[in-house]
Amino acid sequence: MSHQLAGSNTTLETWPAVFDEDDDDDSTQASPPRTSNDAPRTGERLGQVGDANFNRPRGPNGIPWLLRVGSNIKFARNMDLHMVHSTEFELNTGDTMVFVDMPSIPKDPRKQADCDGTAYRSQKFRVHSEKLLATGSSKFAEMLRPTYQSRIRRRRKMVKELPPGGIKYLLDLTPPSEGDELVFQITELSLTPGVMKWWSSSGFRDVDLSLVTGHDDVCGCKRQAAAALEPDADPVSSDSRKDLSKISVDELAHGVLLKMKADGVDIMYKPPPFRQIPDYCPVRHRNAIIRLLILIEGRNVLMDSASRVWTLVALAKIFDCPSVVRDRVVHWVMHGANARFIEILPEEALRIGFALEIPQVTQCAFRILVNEMALSEAATDDAKRGLSRTTVFGRRLGECDDELSNLIQQAARALVERVSLTKAQLQGPDPFDYWDIQEWRKLRRLELLLTRGDESICRSALEQLRRLMNVLQDAVTSRFNDAAREHIDKAHPILWSMDVDRATYVLAQNFEKLSDILCRANLVQKLLCPFIYKDLGERCSRVLYSGPPGVERTSGRPQYSLLLKEVTKKLQMVAFDRPAMVCTGEWAEFFDTVKDSTGSIMYHAVKTTLVDFDRLDWEVKDALRPLTLSWVRHKLDPLLDMARHMLLTHTINEMKYLPLWAGGLNDGTGCVFESFVPPTDVGPNGPGPAYHTGETLPPAPPSISESMIEDMSAMRFKGSTTAASVDVHDGISAVYQPDRVIADDVSIASDAFMETAAEYMEAKLAVPAEHQVFGRAVDGLVESAVDLGFVLADSFDDVGMPFSDVSDSEDGVVVV
């Protein structure tokens, strides 16, 4: 059946019935179009078999067996509907009565009925309270408390007595009819456009039919079947609309979508009416609550559609029981080709991963979203970047809450910063200075020695040396620039296979060839894709500086050996002109001493191994290897082969924004968003006594050889001017805490103390613990002061103590 589109000479084909599993014949199998898994055949046609599998993991085929086929799918669906309709009879044991009321029945009961036309009704069933509490849900625990129970008993008019049969608790899980709670639940349960369209992945992406083709709870598929299969009277057809099962990969990527884009058509197929479901359905909401309770009771629930999985995840989040659905959702998402849900709908996958704390799903979705946002952050057109509702590669953006968006943005900026640093290093004047290359360090030392000579011969040698050094660095820089300029031309077979993958989820109006997108991208954006790294690795895998004789001359590369000879010649002239200068030990690694038969030094000769090109070659390659292999994915599960055009090998600096359970460093304190503060050996204490950035050391203890006045001032005696009171800002009380203020008319304990008092001496001579670094430092000061006191006492026994601890004022002395 075809449908003519207004204003266009193209038609829409109805979605082939072969992709819906309603047929009872087990032999009826879907015949989806060939996807990118058949790309090697394309590579053979292009003469490059390996290119089509670029960035696609190698190894055995890990596609699992189909969960159900043919009539088994329909049988499982019927059993699931039976469980929902007859929950009262299936769940009839337990000490907790659960009520789930359906909305008021509309005038047309079919608007609240299943595929067979059976209307849903309110349910009352029993569950076990210990199983509700075993989920760890704070929501269920609150509902089982007396406060909630008294309220629900009044609402259900069961104040005097509960239903017989051992019922102890009542739960009313009917969604609220109004208020903020209803708004919150509708927001959480509303399906996204991608989730509502995921049923078509069985045709486009080889996803198991039993995972995605399930019908919505309110469905009129059998009533609409006749009208949906009835052919259109309009005989107009177009080559741009064919049977999906007959569309080839080449046509799908470059023929169909580009033709649709030219005709202004966005959709390839008109979905059947029963597939056009609302984003929120009250019946779906209530049935999902029933299914959640069925799972808690240990019974099985059919996960046969993205809409059902999304709804159950949202309810598990609302009722604070993610463990109930976690394993089943992981199995659904990670099963075979359905893992492409993460690549095509990463926002939805990230929300599911965070709600259920699934590390694999969270990490993979986060990698994709960070790369896409980094591409947007690196764009030079700020206006276009802010208004676009699609990614650079044409995928329609989903929605994340502010918290998740902030994590993605922070990681994306860190990724852009890292890639920009890579660009700056490779295009900078001195890229070798960033790497630990011994041969290059030797040349830097020689350069430093030559800069100390003021003679023209030294300046001439220095100029020749720097020319050699620039050429050596240019061997890498030029290859990087060539890779950045020519990688698109070399990657056409690779880009073609990636366009095939993108054509399965990018809308026609947003579809562009990857080659066209990359041509418009700036260098930082290109470095956020794997192509330049791969091309640079291939270019640098060949000999950089050395090779058989004549290779440099015939290959057009700079003649490094000739440049080195010129440097050697200039250095030898320096040795002849300034023999005294090159006799020092600093020059020993560059010159050999030539002696006569008597052992006398004749002259200094430049060493033949001034620069070891072979060693420099492999040292540079060792430094480049982490960069040229940075696009290779290791231990990535799932494999994400639909996102092969993205650089997804993020470092911990980008992944640290994830929570601890997802492999990140975000512990909720906000430390991951702060700049790194390097540790210090000596620094100030602050902002409080419990926080130290370093060790603050006191001044050196006073020496007894200094004047007595200086010695005693080091102890910093301070007295209060107000009798029997302490100002918490101007002094320190030995009786009360510093934050306590005493009124003027209130008597307090005296702060006066004597040096000879037992308590004073005990506190003064207490030995600090090993971990009290600051205390040990003060201890040294105290010991010095005590020793000073003993010396003074011995020296002035005949005159008494001229310096008493007792102040002239009425209160005592405070030691600060």
For residue 344, the model assigns a pLDDT of 95
Beta-carbon contacts of 104 under 8 Å, excluding residues fewer than 6 positions away, are none
Closest residue by Cα to residue 313 from 304, 302, 324: 324
Cα distances (angstroms) measured from residue 173 to each of 124, 311, 315, 684: 10, 15, 11, 57
CA distance 315 to 140: 13
CA distance 629 to 647: 11
The better pLDDT of the pair 696, 36 is held by: 696
For residue 20, the model assigns a pLDDT of 53
For residue 454, the model assigns a pLDDT of 77
Beta-carbon contacts of 205 under 8 Å, excluding residues fewer than 6 positions away, are 32, 35, 337, 340, 344, 504
- Residue-wise DSSP of 366-413: HHHHHHHHHHHHT-S-HHHHHH-SB-TT-PBP----HHHHHHHHHHHH
Instruction: Give the pLDDT mean for 630-639.
Output: 87
The better pLDDT of the pair 662, 266 is held by: 662
Proportion of the chain above pLDDT 90, given as a percent: 44
For residue 780, the model assigns a pLDDT of 60
Helix (H/G/I), strand (E/B), else coil: 169:
strand
Helix (H/G/I), strand (E/B), else coil: 814:
strand
For residue 583, the model assigns a pLDDT of 82
pLDDT of 62 > 90? The answer is no
Q: CA 373, 377, 381, 386 torsion: positive or negative?
A: positive
Instruction: Give the pLDDT mean for 552-579.
Output: 78
Instruction: Give the pLDDT mean for 384-413.
Output: 88
For residue 80, the model assigns a pLDDT of 93
> pLDDT (tens digit, 9 = 90+) per residue, 325-339?
999 999 999 998 999
CA distance 609 to 591: 10
Q: Are strands 169-172 and 96-100 parallel, antiparallel or unpaired?
A: parallel
For residue 587, the model assigns a pLDDT of 86
Q: Which of 69-73, 144-148, 217-221: highest mean pLDDT?
A: 144-148
For residue 402, the model assigns a pLDDT of 93
Share in percent of the chain as helix, strand, coil (round to 5): 50, 5, 45
For residue 474, the model assigns a pLDDT of 92
For residue 783, the model assigns a pLDDT of 56
Q: Is the peptide bond prior to 164 cis by the omega test (within 30 degrees of 0)?
A: no
> pLDDT (tens digit, 9 = 90+) per residue, 675-708?
766 665 555 555 555 555 555 445 555 444 444 5
Mean pLDDT of the chain: 77
Burial class from Cβ neighbours inside 10 Å (0-12, 13-18, 19+) for residue 709 reads exposed
Within 10 angstroms of residue 552's Cβ, the number of other Cβ atoms is 18
Proportion of the chain above pLDDT 70, given as a percent: 67
CB-based contact 224:218 (threshold 8 Å): no
- Structure-block tokens of residue 766: 């207490």
CB-based contact 292:329 (threshold 8 Å): no
pLDDT of 38 > 70? The answer is no
pLDDT of 140 > 70? The answer is yes
- Structure-block tokens of residue 476: 């890498």
pLDDT band at 754 (very low <50, low <70, confident <90, very high): low
CA distance 493 to 495: 6
CA distance 381 to 519: 15
pLDDT band at 43 (very low <50, low <70, confident <90, very high): very low
Q: Are strands 813-815 and 717-719 parallel, antiparallel or unpaired?
A: antiparallel
- Structure-block tokens of residue 116: 């067979």
pLDDT band at 447 (very low <50, low <70, confident <90, very high): very high
DSSP letter assigned to residue 119: B
pLDDT band at 802 (very low <50, low <70, confident <90, very high): very low
pLDDT band at 225 (very low <50, low <70, confident <90, very high): low
Q: Which of 177-181, 270-274, 592-596: highest mean pLDDT?
A: 177-181
pLDDT of 312 > 70? The answer is yes
The better pLDDT of the pair 89, 780 is held by: 89
pLDDT of 581 > 80? The answer is yes
CB-based contact 542:571 (threshold 8 Å): no
Instruction: Give the pLDDT mean for 239-266.
Output: 56
Identify the weakest region by mean pLDDT among 189-203, 229-243, 331-345.
229-243
Q: Which amino acid does the sequence have at 460? A: S
Instruction: Give the pLDDT mean for 33-41.
Output: 39
pLDDT of 782 > 90? The answer is no
Q: Which of 159-168, 248-257, 331-340: highest mean pLDDT?
A: 331-340
CB-based contact 300:120 (threshold 8 Å): no
Instruction: Give the pLDDT mean for 571-580.
Output: 86
Closest residue by Cα to residue 748 from 805, 807, 806, 810: 810
pLDDT of 743 > 50? The answer is yes
Instruction: Give the pLDDT mean for 626-649.
Output: 90
Taking each helix axis from N to C end, the angle separating 531-540 and 456-490, rounded to the nearest 10 degrees, works out to: 130
For residue 35, the model assigns a pLDDT of 40
Beta-carbon contacts of 228 under 8 Å, excluding residues fewer than 6 positions away, are 1, 14, 272, 273
CA distance 623 to 251: 43
For residue 762, the model assigns a pLDDT of 62
DSSP letter assigned to residue 9: S
pLDDT band at 229 (very low <50, low <70, confident <90, very high): very low
pLDDT of 193 > 70? The answer is yes
Helix (H/G/I), strand (E/B), else coil: 433:
helix
Q: Give the up-direction half-sphere exposure of residue 639: CA atoms within 13 A in the CB hemisphere.
A: 18
pLDDT of 799 > 50? The answer is no
Q: Give the up-direction half-sphere exposure of residue 373: CA atoms within 13 A in the CB hemisphere.
A: 25
Q: Are strands 11-14 and 269-270 parallel, antiparallel or unpaired?
A: parallel
CA distance 417 to 432: 20
660: phi then psi, degrees, rounded to nearest 5 = -60, -40
Identify the weakest region by mean pLDDT among 114-128, 303-317, 480-494, 509-523.
480-494
pLDDT of 250 > 90? The answer is no
For residue 41, the model assigns a pLDDT of 39
pLDDT band at 385 (very low <50, low <70, confident <90, very high): low
- Region at 522 (left for phi over 0; alpha for psi -120 to 50; beta for the rest): beta
For residue 112, the model assigns a pLDDT of 87
Helix (H/G/I), strand (E/B), else coil: 501:
helix
The better pLDDT of the pair 103, 14 is held by: 103
Q: Which of 7-11, 50-54, 183-187, 240-244: highest mean pLDDT?
A: 183-187
Beta-carbon contacts of 795 under 8 Å, excluding residues fewer than 6 positions away, are none
pLDDT band at 65 (very low <50, low <70, confident <90, very high): low
Token pair 């259920």: residue: 356
Beta-carbon contacts of 516 under 8 Å, excluding residues fewer than 6 positions away, are none
Q: Which of 393-397, 509-513, 715-719: highest mean pLDDT?
A: 393-397
Instruction: Give the pLDDT mean for 733-760.
Output: 53
CA distance 202 to 20: 9
For residue 182, the model assigns a pLDDT of 94
Identify the weakest region by mean pLDDT among 164-178, 257-271, 284-298, 427-441.
257-271
pTM above 0.95, yes or no: no
For residue 272, the model assigns a pLDDT of 87
For residue 86, the model assigns a pLDDT of 93
589: phi then psi, degrees, rounded to nearest 5 = -75, -10
Q: Which of 202-206, 660-664, 757-761: highest mean pLDDT?
A: 660-664
Closest residue by Cα to residue 193 from 451, 399, 38, 362: 399
pLDDT of 134 > 50? The answer is yes
pLDDT of 551 > 50? The answer is no
